[in-house]
Amino acid sequence: MPDFQKIISQVYQGLEPMPNTGKVANYIPELAHVPPQKFGIHLLEMNKRAHSVGDAQELFSIQSISKVLSLAMAMAAIDEKVWERVDVEPSGDPFNHLSLLEQENGIPRNPLINAGAIVIADILVSELKKPKEDFLEFVHQLSGDNNIAYDEAVASSEKSTGFKNFAAANLLKSYGNLKNDVEEVLDFYFYQCSLSMSCAQLCDTFYLFINRGVCKQGTQHLSLNQIKRINALMLTCGFYDEAGEFAFEVGLPGKSGVGGGIVALLPEHFCITTWSPVLNPKGNSTKGMAALERITTLSGLSIF
Ligand code: GLU
């Protein structure tokens, strides 16, 4: 195995002084306060050895990264039935686009765009006794860290400005693809997106995706086949309308969020999280993408 600590430190030092080109997300007002210069990288190897640099232990809003975790929980609950309500094709459109939903009769393109994640949230609201508590408990189990929590200020900030998500949920409801109340489903969705986690906690939580469904604590949560499906969706749909570019530059499945985090992974080898809040025009962290491109190039490790 390459010397990962050396590689991530070298990449961090090369990128850290570079000016931040792009913008911190501000359509959720609470996210606009995050200092743009924050930058951290954490890498967790399959053998559980961990490597960190910069602000890798600081908490940030994971936003859309949570969509992978809610999908995992929905698959654990109803398995292949998920695909009766959401498709598995890349959208080639921004994360909150609505036009395809109308063209395709209320079946979202995939579970990692907003409309798809709202359908997954609806499934969890139906399947779980206490959706918010049970989802948080699932994340605690995966990570082995009971300190992980929702950020109420971020959740209520998004609730007051999430007009497009209300539009998507209402459209889904009109096509019969939302079983519960719009308000109830979106309340859960805004909470799941508000999870506040560090790069290190995200790597711990995503360990099951490199370890055939067995989490870092040693419990089997998903089958190998379910992991194959989720990793495939991360590769093809994990980066808004830039999934092709991410595969081209970085060559790993992953998921980004508008809080500036990116989780990426090489099954059986490592999981890596970067955090830098300044986003490119497609909504992905500019420095995070650059760092991951350099890390897979220097280590010679990607799925290709
Ligand atoms: N909660 C955010 C939204 O629905 C998530 C967006 C993202 O991270 O892509 O707008």
DSSP-derived letter for residue 248 is H
Residue 186's SS3 state is: helix
Query: Domain spans of the chain?
Result: 4-299
CB half-sphere exposure, 203, CA atoms < 13 A: 27
Ligand 1, atom 7, lies closest to the CA of 64
What's the whole-number mean pLDDT along residues 21-28?
Answer: 91
Q: What is the CA(112)–ligand 1 centre distance, in A?
A: 10
pLDDT computed for residue 185 by the predictor: 98
pLDDT computed for residue 95 by the predictor: 64
**168-210 residue pLDDT tens:** 999 999 999 999 999 999 999 999 999 999 999 999 999 999 9
Catalytic annotation, residues: 64, 67, 189, 240, 258
Residue 49's SS3 state is: coil
For domain 4-299, the CATH class is: alpha beta
What's the whole-number mean pLDDT along residues 7-12?
Answer: 98
Is residue 208 within 8 A of residue 227, CB to CB? The reply is: yes
pLDDT of 121 > 70? The answer is yes
Separation of alpha carbons 233 and 149, rounded Å: 26
Report the pocket of ligand 1 as residue ranges, CB < 6 Å: 63-64, 95-96, 114, 158, 165, 193, 257-258
pLDDT computed for residue 203 by the predictor: 98
User: In ligand 1, which atom is closest to the CA atom of 162?
Assistant: 10
**205-245 residue pLDDT tens:** 999 999 999 999 999 999 999 999 999 999 999 998 899 99
Question: How large a percentage of the chain has pLDDT more than 90?
Answer: 92
pLDDT computed for residue 20 by the predictor: 86
Pocket test for ligand 1, best of 258, 262, 279, 284 (most atoms within 8 A of CB): 258
pLDDT of 60 > 90? The answer is yes
DSSP-derived letter for residue 51 is E
pLDDT computed for residue 102 by the predictor: 82
What's the whole-number mean pLDDT along residues 155-162?
Answer: 95
Ligand 1, atom 6, lies closest to the CA of 64
**251-277 residue pLDDT tens:** 999 999 999 999 999 999 999 999 999
**272-294 residue pLDDT tens:** 999 999 999 999 999 999 999 99
